[in-house]
DNA sequence: CCCGTCGCATGACACGTGTAACTATATGTG
DNA sequence: CACATATAGTTACACGTGTCATGCGACGGG
């Protein structure tokens, strides 16, 4: 007993974490009364004087209820789990980070404790096992989480009331919140075609995890191109380095392209710099379109045309989460979260 | 019972989440045996044949242990809690995000479940209460969390074995992992002074939460300036907008300064653009130094001089966390996490 | 005086798990 | 044969909480 106090008069002095039993003893009531009072179920059951005594005792002891015990008794926890992608992680843009923060705040206001689970070893069902141990009320799988139908099944069997995915395509059994990357690519393609460009290069980053986004974006550009005759779409892999960008710039004349969809604004900046250093004119020799519409886009010269998602409607999401938790039997729903708009500027 | 199946032959058919009791029944053994087997405590206690039977039964039922029950019984959870800043959040840079991801991975390998707790309503002791409910093994408070000594006290009283802060200054009772922002500012100042600059402007962003970083950085520049005679340091508040930057550029000639520490690379880009649009030469009319040393810095023209932290030593941190959990009685330690280096380029 | 009612508080159980203590059956050992 | 010893399990309890059913005293109506 490494207590700091030298003289402890009571022989039984465990400075352990106080439980509701300790509160009850100090207040001179039963544990049941404490529970009723502290959970605001005391109306008409406990006299106000007793309520005050209980609250004072809890305060004095610094009582904090034990979430595990409460969860065990209740059969469910108020936890909403956000999962981390198994792959090293697609770089989470500033917009997406803000969105997550807002989402968590809204969930908190509804009484849920939202928690972002760290990365786990396995994928699919094995990862789901780790999440299921916490018996969360809901699991919201972020894009890049390898959520399989069998993982959804496992989660539901262990009592998870709602499983939702935030991502590009639905997963069987789970509610789907869709981020339509294909539409984003389509808008970029349409924009370039409307400006008379016909041979579009599309940057495909090699960064692990980003293919989740880049592949459907490319598909979107292709889809847009089929609506116009005499078009060509060329995927161009690119490392996130100056060297790779310079190499692309050197190779550009031989490619016979007239425009570029650069995956996002940061990659757009990278290649734009390389092209300019190589003596190519923008938008004269080639048009460039980015994505995300960061402040960055307006700071470049020429100013960068960029396509981005409208702000994600947090309220609708937490509404769905709440409803899904309350009525777990409702059939999985699919929601398109975003509308895509192009901010046209000088680069193409 | 809103079950979809119409005919349920067994009268007692709770498709509820299976417990270890169910596994025991299916395997034809006692619950204790199941526990021993599934926790790898079966050596010399349970025959291999029985072990196989138990594991098969668990697999068949899709058994997932109940973390709450386990926590309750064990008296502690293997949770390591990362806290979210109460303030809207200092924009988490890409570097810091990568660091957190790496940290969580390393903790996972040591058997801890790391979890990033969402934002909570109150601050200080009230927030600590919310964290304490989960009875985490350790709490790692990220920069911007308003962790007070009394909050540390409360956490420890409710059984948290280790409380650590990642931030600018130590908190009484908690281990401190220091990110020396002041040194970062000092290096920036020294660099400019060495190049003959004497009148240094320092960008102070108005974004909420960033003052946590900007104030000590300013102090660092000031400290460096006192080592040289005839110097002047001028703080300059700036919104993260083009207008604010343009306004600063217009005002610049009247300020009588010859150099600028721009808080970080992104702000540096913002003001550099405004200065160039206003016809000022860099580094001729003024030198600019950024921070973080992003790829961005090498893409700007002139290339941006930037000061940044060496990579944060994840291994040392998880080592400390692990040790602090195992030996909670060890006195709080203070660790400087980072060394600061200047990447000198063309902007100043 | 008895019975129903109301206000206030309590006893007791269940949630699912880990583990110390114990039992029962075989295996040597003197 | 008696006795230690290993093997293969089981029984029983504790962790901290929420809540149903119950108890107890007082009050009012018949």
> Each residue of A298-337: pLDDT tens digit?
999 999 999 998 877 889 899 999 999 988 888 999 999 8
Q: What is the per-residue pLDDT for A138?
A: 96
For the residues B253-258, what does the mean pLDDT come to?
A: 96
d(CA B273, CA A296): 10
Map tokens 């777990």 to a residue.
A328
**Is A119 part of the contact surface with chain B (CB cutoff 8 Å)?**
yes
Q: Gap from B32 CA to C22 C1', in Å?
A: 13
Rg (C-alpha) for chain A, rounded Å, is 28
Q: Which of B2, B68, B89, B329 would you mutate first to test chain A, the one with the most A CBs within 10 A?
A: B68
Q: Is B54 part of any domain?
A: yes
Residue that finishes a domain, picked among A65, A85, A120:
A65
**Is B75 part of the contact surface with chain A (CB cutoff 8 Å)?**
no
Burial of A5 (0-12, 13-18, 19+ CB in 10 A): exposed
Using the CB atom, is residue B47 less than 7 Å from strand C?
A: no
B52 backbone dihedrals φ, ψ, rounded to 5°:
-60, -45
Q: What is the per-residue pLDDT for A324?
A: 92
Residues B251 and B138 both lie in one domain: no
Higher-pLDDT residue of B92 and A54 is A54
Give the protein-side footprint of strand D (Cβ within 7 Å): A 16-17, 19-21, 31-32, 35-36, 38-39, 41, 63, 65-66, 69-70, 72-74; B 29-33, 36, 44-47, 49-50, 69, 72-73, 75
d(CA B269, CA B266): 5
Q: Give the rounded distance of the alpha carbon of B102 from its chain centre.
A: 11
The separation between the first and the last C-alpha atoms of chain A, rounded to the nearest angstrom, is 73
Nearest CB neighbour to B158, from listed A64, A104, A295: A64
Q: What is the per-residue pLDDT for B88?
A: 53
pTM score, two decimals? Answer: 0.88
Higher-pLDDT residue of A301 and B208 is A301
Residues B106 and B254 both lie in one domain: no
Q: What is the per-residue pLDDT for B7?
A: 37
Q: How many CA atoms lie within 13 A of A305 on its CB side?
A: 23
Q: What is the per-residue pLDDT for B92?
A: 56
Q: Which are the contacts of A273, defined by CB distance < 8 A and separation ≥ 6?
A: A242, A245, B299
* The pLDDT of residue A93 is above 70: no
Residue that finishes a domain, picked among A65, A85, A118:
A65
d(CA B292, CA B261): 12
Q: Which chain A residue lies closest to B60 (C-alpha atoms)?
A: A154
User: Any idea what DSSP says for residue B27?
Assistant: H
Is there a contact between B64 and A134 if contact means CB atoms under 8 Å apart?
Answer: no
d(CA B193, CA B232): 11
3-state secondary structure at position A334 = strand
Q: Does residue B127 come out as left (phi exceeding 0), alpha (psi in the -120 to 50 range) or beta? A: alpha
Q: Which chain A residue lies closest to B151 (C-alpha atoms)?
A: A62
A338 backbone dihedrals φ, ψ, rounded to 5°:
-130, 150
Q: Is B2 part of any domain?
A: no
Q: Is B348 part of any domain?
A: no
> Each residue of A116-154: pLDDT tens digit?
998 888 888 899 999 999 999 999 999 888 899 999 999
Cα maximum dimension of chain B: 92
Residue B10 token pair: 């067994």
Q: Is A41 part of any domain?
A: yes
Q: Which chain B residue lies closest to A80 (C-alpha atoms)?
A: B118
Q: How far is CA A109 from CA A121, A160, A313, B182, in A?
A: 32, 20, 16, 37
Higher-pLDDT residue of A282 and B85 is A282
Q: Which residues of B touch A119 (CB under 8 A)?
A: 101, 104-105, 108
Q: Which chain A residue lies closest to B87 (C-alpha atoms)?
A: A101
Residues A234 and A147 both lie in one domain: no
Residues A115 and A231 both lie in one domain: no
3-state secondary structure at position B87 = coil
* The pLDDT of residue A35 is above 60: yes
At residue B3 the predicted structure's pLDDT band, cuts being 50, 70 and 90, is: very low
Residue B268 token pair: 């540096």
Q: Gap from B46 CA to D17 C1', in Å?
A: 34
Q: Gap from B56 CA to C28 C1', in Å?
A: 34
> Each residue of A213-226: pLDDT tens digit?
999 999 999 999 99
For the residues A239-251, what does the mean pLDDT come to?
A: 97
Closest-CA residue to A89 (of A169, A143, A160) = A143
B176 backbone dihedrals φ, ψ, rounded to 5°:
-120, 130
Q: What is the per-residue pLDDT for A250?
A: 97
For the residues A267-276, what does the mean pLDDT come to?
A: 98
Residue A170 token pair: 């639905």
Residues A105 and A154 both lie in one domain: yes
Q: Which residues of B touch A154 (CB under 8 A)?
A: 62, 64
CA distance B62 to chain A (A): 7
State which of A113-122, A311-320, B97-106, B223-232 shows the largest mean pLDDT.
B223-232
Say how many domains are in chain B.
Answer: 3
d(CA B339, CA B327): 28
Q: Which chain A residue lies closest to B18 (C-alpha atoms)?
A: A158
Q: What is the per-residue pLDDT for A6?
A: 34
> Each residue of B137-183: pLDDT tens digit?
999 998 888 899 999 999 999 999 999 999 898 999 999 999 899 99
For the residues B209-216, what does the mean pLDDT come to?
A: 91
3-state secondary structure at position A321 = helix
Q: What percent of chain B has pLDDT over 90?
A: 72
Per-window interface: A 314-343 vs B, CB < 8 A? 329
Q: Is B14 part of any domain?
A: no
Give me the torsion for CA of B84, B89, B90, B95, rounded to 10°: 50
3-state secondary structure at position A95 = helix
**Is A122 part of the contact surface with chain B (CB cutoff 8 Å)?**
no
Residues A174 and A318 both lie in one domain: yes
d(CA B195, CA B197): 6
At residue B4 the predicted structure's pLDDT band, cuts being 50, 70 and 90, is: very low
Q: Gap from A66 CA to C7 C1', in Å?
A: 30
At residue B91 the predicted structure's pLDDT band, cuts being 50, 70 and 90, is: low
> Each residue of A161-183: pLDDT tens digit?
999 999 898 999 999 999 899 99
At residue B20 the predicted structure's pLDDT band, cuts being 50, 70 and 90, is: very high
Q: What is the per-residue pLDDT for A94?
A: 66
Q: Is B53 part of any domain?
A: yes
Is residue A144 within a helix (H) or strand (E), and if so which, with residue range? none
Low-confidence winner among A249-263, B113-127, B187-201 (lowest mean pLDDT): B113-127
Ordered alpha helix ranges (H), A204-294: 211-226, 242-255, 265-277
CATH code for the domain of A52: 1.10.260.40
Q: What is the per-residue pLDDT for B124?
A: 84
Q: Gap from A70 CA to D23 C1', in Å?
A: 27
Beta bridge partners of B237: B204
At residue A85 the predicted structure's pLDDT band, cuts being 50, 70 and 90, is: confident
Is there a contact between A269 and B296 if contact means CB atoms under 8 Å apart?
Answer: yes
Residue that finishes a domain, picked among B10, B42, B65:
B65
Is there a contact between A157 and B62 if contact means CB atoms under 8 Å apart?
Answer: yes
Q: Is A4 part of any domain?
A: no
Q: What is the per-residue pLDDT for A15?
A: 62
Using the CB atom, is residue B73 less than 7 Å from strand C?
A: yes
Residues B185 and B293 both lie in one domain: yes
Contact B81, B151 (CB under 8 A): no
Nearest CB neighbour to A158, from listed B64, B241, B242: B64
User: Any idea what DSSP says for residue A305?
Assistant: E
d(CA B204, CA B214): 6
Residue B214 token pair: 């900007």
Residues B87 and B126 both lie in one domain: yes
Higher-pLDDT residue of B169 and B218 is B218
Q: Considering all nucleic acid strands, name the nucleotide whose C1' atom is nearest to the C-alpha of residue A28.
A: C9
Q: How many CA atoms lie within 13 A of A247 on its CB side?
A: 9
d(CA A315, CA A27): 42
Q: What is the per-residue pLDDT for B208?
A: 83
Beta bridge partners of A308: A341
Domain that holds residue A49: 20-65
d(CA B327, CA B325): 6
**Is B116 part of the contact surface with chain A (CB cutoff 8 Å)?**
yes
Q: Which are the contacts of B277, defined by CB distance < 8 A and separation ≥ 6?
A: B246, B249
**Is B269 part of the contact surface with chain A (CB cutoff 8 Å)?**
yes
Nearest CB neighbour to A64, from listed B64, B65, B132: B132
Contact A18, A61 (CB under 8 A): yes
Is there a contact between B66 and A133 if contact means CB atoms under 8 Å apart?
Answer: yes
Q: Gap from A77 CA to D22 C1', in Å?
A: 30
Residue A129 token pair: 């096992």
Residues B167 and B153 both lie in one domain: yes
For the residues B208-212, what does the mean pLDDT come to?
A: 87
> Each residue of B276-285: pLDDT tens digit?
999 999 999 9
Q: Is A3 part of any domain?
A: no
Q: Which residues of A touch B114 (CB under 8 A)?
A: 118
Q: Does residue A87 come out as left (phi exceeding 0), alpha (psi in the -120 to 50 range) or beta? A: beta
∠ CA B133-B134-B136, nearest 5°, is: 120
Q: What is the per-residue pLDDT for B1?
A: 32
Higher-pLDDT residue of A13 and B18 is B18
Residues A270 and A206 both lie in one domain: yes
Low-confidence winner among A55-64, A190-199, B240-249, B323-332 (lowest mean pLDDT): B323-332
Q: Considering all nucleic acid strands, name the nucleotide whose C1' atom is nearest to the C-alpha of residue A31.
A: C10
Low-confidence winner among A266-270, B120-124, B132-136 (lowest mean pLDDT): B120-124
CATH code for the domain of A236: 3.40.50.2300
Q: Gap from B73 CA to D7 C1', in Å?
A: 28
d(CA A220, CA A43): 59
Q: What is the per-residue pLDDT for A88?
A: 54
At residue B10 the predicted structure's pLDDT band, cuts being 50, 70 and 90, is: very low
Q: Which are the contacts of B291, defined by CB distance < 8 A and separation ≥ 6?
A: B184, B188, B217, B261, B262, B263, B264, B265, B268, B306, B307, B308
Residues A327 and A244 both lie in one domain: no
Residues B164 and B228 both lie in one domain: no
Q: What is the per-residue pLDDT for A4?
A: 34
Closest-CA residue to A283 (of A209, A198, A197, A225) = A197
For the residues A57-84, what does the mean pLDDT come to?
A: 94
């Amino acid at each position: 007993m490494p207590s700091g106090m030298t003289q402890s008069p009571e022989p039984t002095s465990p400075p352990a974490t106080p439980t509701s039993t300790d509160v009850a003893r100090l207040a001179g009531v039963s544990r049941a009364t404490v529970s009723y009072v502290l959970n605001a179920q005391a109306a008409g059951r406990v006299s106000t004087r007793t309520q005050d005594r209980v609250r004072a005792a809890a305060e004095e002891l610094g009582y904090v209820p034990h979430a595990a015990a409460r969860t065990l008794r209740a059969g469910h926890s108020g936890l909403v789990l956000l999962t981390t992608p198994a792959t090293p992680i697609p770089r989470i843009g500033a917009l997406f980070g803000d969105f997550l923060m807002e989402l968590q705040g809204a969930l908190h206001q509804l009484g849920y404790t939202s928690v972002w689970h760290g990365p786990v070893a396995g994928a699919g069902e094995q990862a789901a096992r780790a999440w299921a141990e916490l018996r969360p009320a809901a699991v919201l799988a972020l894009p890049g989480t390898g959520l399989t139908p069998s993982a959804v099944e496992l989660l539901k069997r262990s009592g998870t009331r709602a499983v939702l995915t935030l991502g590009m395509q639905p997963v069987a059994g789970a509610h789907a919140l869709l981020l339509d990357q294909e539409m984003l690519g389509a808008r970029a393609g349409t924009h370039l075609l409307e400006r008379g460009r016909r041979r579009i290069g599309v940057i495909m980053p090699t960064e692990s995890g980003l293919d989740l986004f880049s592949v459907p974006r490319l598909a979107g550009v292709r889809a847009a191109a089929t609506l116009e005759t005499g078009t060509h779409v060329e995927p161009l892999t690119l490392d996130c380095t100056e060297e790779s960008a310079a190499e692309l710039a050197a190779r550009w004349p031989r490619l016979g392209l007239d425009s570029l969809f650069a995956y996002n604004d940061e990659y757009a900046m990278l290649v734009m710099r390389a092209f300019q250093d190589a003596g190519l004119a923008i938008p004269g020799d080639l048009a460039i379109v980015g994505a995300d519409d960061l402040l960055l886009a307006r700071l470049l010269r020429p100013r960068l045309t960029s396509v981005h998602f409208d702000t994600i409607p947090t309220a609708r999401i937490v509404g769905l989460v709440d409803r899904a938790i309350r009525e777990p039997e409702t059939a999985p729903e699919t929601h398109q979260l975003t509308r895509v708009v192009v901010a046209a500027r000088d680069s193409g």
